[in-house]
Structure 1
Amino acid sequence: MNVISRHILTDKNVSSADFRAAMRHLTGGVSVITAGQGRDITGMTVTSLSVDPPALIVSINRHASSFPLIKRLGAFGVNLLNADHLDIAERFAGKGGLKGVDRFAGSDWVTAVSGVPLLAGASAALDCEVEEIIERHS
């Protein structure tokens, strides 16, 4: 297995090319959008809202502990994990009952420009600013 570590970008003015390169490491959550009928069909792979300017859509339950912090501070990090990060994925999913700062123990994190923690060994790590919060169903 190849593990690719990328330098964590902490510049608020990330280029479209750098954003696109980061999104190429996202193996889960990739969707193929299809359209048309018969032989008049087409499709595309999508992982983000926009490349220029770089933008993502994330869905967060209003009752999750992260939601009030994201709403209040207007920033969050997106850390694209690889197969070596199973323990981190499980910890942040609630396995073991750890909460808050305890979930970060045992891994190397850096502080992004916005102040959010980003995983040093992530395939890609993005420092994100909230553009809009649309509250819908939880």
Structure 2
Amino acid sequence: MGTDKMPAALEVLQQSFKQAMRGFAGAVSVVTVADPLNESERSGFTATSVSSFSATPPMVVASMKATSSSAALLQRTRRFGVNLLREEQQAIAQRFTGFGGEAGLERYGSDAWTQLLADGAPVLVDAVVAMDCEVDELLERHGHYLIIGRVREIRVAQEAPAPLLYWQGRYTRLAETRAC
């Protein structure tokens, strides 16, 4: 049975899964990757897949497509930044998707970037949360990498600005919170 056609039941399940996952609101982060020895060699991607993995030691987990322009650079440098975006930073999120044709250093635009550590990845100066991480493990499964990263340094914005969210296929913001 050498057919490239996906069984109808699997195709239906995959479409249902995609629709179901749109119901999970996710905080929007930009994951940055750079060669600390070559300032012009930078990449990065937008992710809603960033989450905590462990508090002891502090670790995060994220996923990216194995075909991402950031994959080879991350494998080589083993360093990445996590930038939780503010609700007004939708343009940054969009630029890091690469859907507009931006690649590499171009994705960084004219936004203010810094490093938390001398050998670290770039982080946004005004991110809600910025973390410098080191790859602990990269697992390749089903065309994606699961990135497990050890947090090396953290900066949290003082005024606790609202994060940018992604839900039902679009960027959105938190509603006013009420005590339950």
- By the TM > 0.5 criterion, same fold? yes
**Separation in 1 of the partners of 2:71 and 2:127?**
22
Higher RCO, 1 vs 2 (CA within 8 Å, ≥6 residues apart): 1
Query: Runs of 5+ in structure 2 lacking a partner?
Result: 1-24, 28-50, 144-180
| Residue aligned with 1:90, SS | helix
What's the TM-score, normalizing by structure 1?
A: 0.64
* Equivalence for 2:57: 53
What's the TM-score, normalizing by structure 2?
A: 0.50
Structure 1 segments, 4+ long, off by >2 Å, are none
Report sequence identity in percent: 41
**Separation in 2 of the partners of 1:95 and 1:63?**
14
Q: Number of aligned pairs?
A: 95
* Equivalence for 1:104: 108
RMSD (Å), alpha carbons: 1.4
Match of 1:62 among 49, 57, 66: 66
Deviations 1:30-55, CA, capped at 9 Å, x for gaps: xxxxxxxxxxxxxxxxx411011100
Question: Larger helix proportion, structure 1 or 2?
Answer: 1
Structure 2 counterpart of 1:127, which letter? D
Query: Runs of 5+ in structure 1 lacking a partner?
Result: 1-26, 30-46
Alignment of 1:1-138 (within 5 A): 28-29=26-27, 47-113=51-117, 114-138=119-143
**Separation in 2 of the partners of 1:48 and 1:58?**
9
Structure 1 counterpart of 2:59, which letter? A
Please tell me whether Structure 1 or Structure 2 has the larger radius of gyration of its CA atoms: 2
